[in-house]
Structures are given as structure tokens and as C-alpha cells.
Structure 1
Amino acid sequence: MPTLILARHGKAEAPAPGLQDMDRALALIGRKASTKLGEVIARAGIRPDLALVSSAVRTQQTWKLMAPAFAPAEERFLEDLYETNVAGVLDVLREAGDADTVVVVGHEPTSSAVAAYLAGSGSDKTALQRVAHGLPTGTAAVLEIDVPWAQVDSRCGRLLHVLSGRDVEE
């Protein structure tokens, strides 16, 4: 049964004049939280074999800090995941092939919207409530998917839990 991890990037530096949004890097606390998020996911026994990562600097940094907690995974850095919506994420997921566990490292509000869209019967109520309020930086929603990636659509899985790497010191 496929597993999907929807991870929001760690806390980024504040916007600054002359700095494009997609070029914003992680703040120190975001780097620490990203590393810890990878460790938390691995301790939960979840190991992605495919990483679909937004082309933004902060999402790429988040993945690079998470990745050492796992066995090597195929990586795809995709412009299609930057400033996308639920349909855009689903299009990318449908191209995941035979991957068992996929992590999408992206942005809000899209990550929580995708989790809510895919969460069907049997989803954890507490996790659903957390997703309804949006995924904070450095957190991930984990879903078990009931169909092959090519058939991913509304209510096709169960939201199991939301994991966090946020309890780190600055």
C-alpha cells in the first residue's frame, strides 16, 4: 500500500527587498527543524524511496537536511510544485510510478489542502483537525493511499498522523 508524506519546508528567512520568494533560504531554526523532521519520520518507520521537491531554495534545503535519515531516495526537483494547487500536486503524484513511499516537500496552503483532499474514511480525527488549521513549517502529514499513484484522487487514502520537527531550540 503506497504511503505519502506531505512535508512543509522548515521556517525560512523573512522576505527582503530584491530577494525573490523562491530564493528565500531556511533560517537557522528551519534548518534544525528540517533535520529533526527527517529523524522523526524515520523513527516512525517511514522511509521514502522517491522525493518530489519544489524548486524553491527552502524546500530543496529542507529535503537535503531530511534525507540523511533515510536510505538513498530518488530525487526530483520540480518547478511544477512551486506555487501550485491540489490538482498540480496530484498530477505530479500520478507520475510516481512504482514508488512505495513518496515524500512531497512543498508549501502551504497546498500541502494541507492535498492532505485534506486525499483523506478519506478511517482518517485520524486529531490529524484531520491539525491539517484543517494548516501545516506549520517543519511538519509533515502522513497518508496511506489505497490506489496506485496513477489513480490518486479525492478520498483515496487515510490521514494517519502529522509529525513535527519543530521542538528544537534556536
Structure 2
Amino acid sequence: MPTLIIARHAKAEAPAAGLSDADRALELIGRKASTRLGQVAARAGINPDLALISPALRTQQTWNLMAGAFSGVEERVVEDLYETHVAGMVEILQELGEVETVVMVGHEPTSSALAAHLAGPGSDKTSLQRVAHGLPTGTAAVIDLECDWASVGSRCGRLVTVLSGRDVEE
């Protein structure tokens, strides 16, 4: 069955006058955490086939730094990932074809809400608690789905872990 990795972008610069939200870049610590998150995922045996990425600069940068840990990943910028809701993310997933492992790089609070929505019986309790408080920047929820992409819906997966790239030095 498929695997979904729901990654939240790493730490970005604070909102500022004259800077659109979509144009906020990663801070140095966010760049380090993004690289580390890719390495942590690869060491856990995860190698995505497809990356779905929000068009925001910080998500693009997060993925570009994570991607160094993987090989052969198809990348798609998905406009609807920037400002959407759980149902919108589910629709995106339901349109996927034959692909085994997908990483979706997006934003809060929708990323953690999607992880909670998909997490069903057998999910890791510690990971569920982490997701309930929101995915911190530079982390990713890993969900093993018990359905195909076209059937993705509420409680159709098992939240197995939350990976973090946050243990990096300033």
C-alpha cells in the first residue's frame, strides 16, 4: 500500500512589511533543518517517488534541500497546496495514479489536520499527540495508507512516526 509523508516547511523569516507571505524565505536554521529532514527520512528507508510542493518560496526551498537525500523523485508544484483545507488536500491525493511513496510539502495548520484526518486504528500514540499540537516547522508525519490513492479518506491510514530535522545547530 502507498505511503504519504506530510512535511511542513522549515523555519522561515518572519512576516514583514512589503514582503508577501508566499515570498518568505527560509532562515539559516530552516535551511539546515530541511537538509537534515531529508537525511533523517532517507535513513528511515523512505525514498519518495513523487514530491507535491506548495508554490510558496519556503516550501520550495525546504523540498530542494530535502531532495538531496533522495534520487529519482518526480516533482510537481501544486498551486492548491498554498492555501487549502483538508478536503482540498485529499482531492489532490485522490487524483494520483500509480505511485508508491509521496511527500507533500506544505503549511500549517492544514498539514497536521490532514495527518490527523488520515490517522486510523493502529496509529502511533506519541505521533498522534505530536500531530494534535500541530506539526512544527521542519518535521514530517509518515502515514502508511491502507487504501489506494483514489480511496484516500478519513482514518484510512496508520500514522507511524513524525520525523524531525530540527535538531541542528544555529
**The TM-score by the shorter chain falls in which range?**
over 0.9
Give 3-state SS (helix, strand or coil) of 1:45's partner: coil
5+ residue gaps, structure 2? none
Give 3-state SS (helix, strand or coil) of 1:5's partner: strand
Look up the match of 1:138. 138
| 2:8 partner letter | R
Q: CA deviation at 1:163?
A: 0.4
Q: CA deviation at 1:62?
A: 0.4
| 2:133 partner letter | H
Percent of aligned pairs with the same amino acid = 74
Look up the match of 2:76. 76
Q: CA deviation at 1:94?
A: 1.1
- Cα RMSD after superposing both structures: 0.5
Q: CA deviation at 1:140?
A: 0.2
Give 3-state SS (helix, strand or coil) of 1:65's partner: helix
Q: CA deviation at 1:130?
A: 0.4
Q: CA deviation at 1:79?
A: 1.0
Look up the match of 2:149. 149
Which consecutive aligned stretches of 4+ in structure 1 deviate over 6 angstroms post-superposition?
none
Q: What is the rounded CA distance, in whole Å, between the counterparts of 2:40 and 2:135 in structure 1?
A: 16
Deviations 1:60-101 (A, max 9, x none): 000000001011211110110001110111111112211100
Deviations 1:102-122 (A, max 9, x none): 000000000000000000000
Give 3-state SS (helix, strand or coil) of 1:141's partner: strand
Give 3-state SS (helix, strand or coil) of 2:108's partner: coil
Q: What is the rounded CA distance, in whole Å, between the counterparts of 2:62 and 2:94 in structure 1?
A: 23
Give 3-state SS (helix, strand or coil) of 2:12's partner: coil
Q: Does 2:96 align with 1:96?
A: yes
Q: What is the rounded CA distance, in whole Å, between the counterparts of 1:122 and 1:10 in structure 2?
A: 28
Look up the match of 1:86. 86
Give 3-state SS (helix, strand or coil) of 1:35's partner: helix
Look up the match of 2:23. 23
Q: CA deviation at 1:10?
A: 0.5
Describe how 1:1-170 pairs up with structure 2 within 5 A: 1-170=1-170
Give 3-state SS (helix, strand or coil) of 1:166's partner: coil
Q: What is the rounded CA distance, in whole Å, between the counterparts of 2:105 and 2:155 in structure 1?
A: 21
Give 3-state SS (helix, strand or coil) of 1:62's partner: helix
5+ residue gaps, structure 1? none
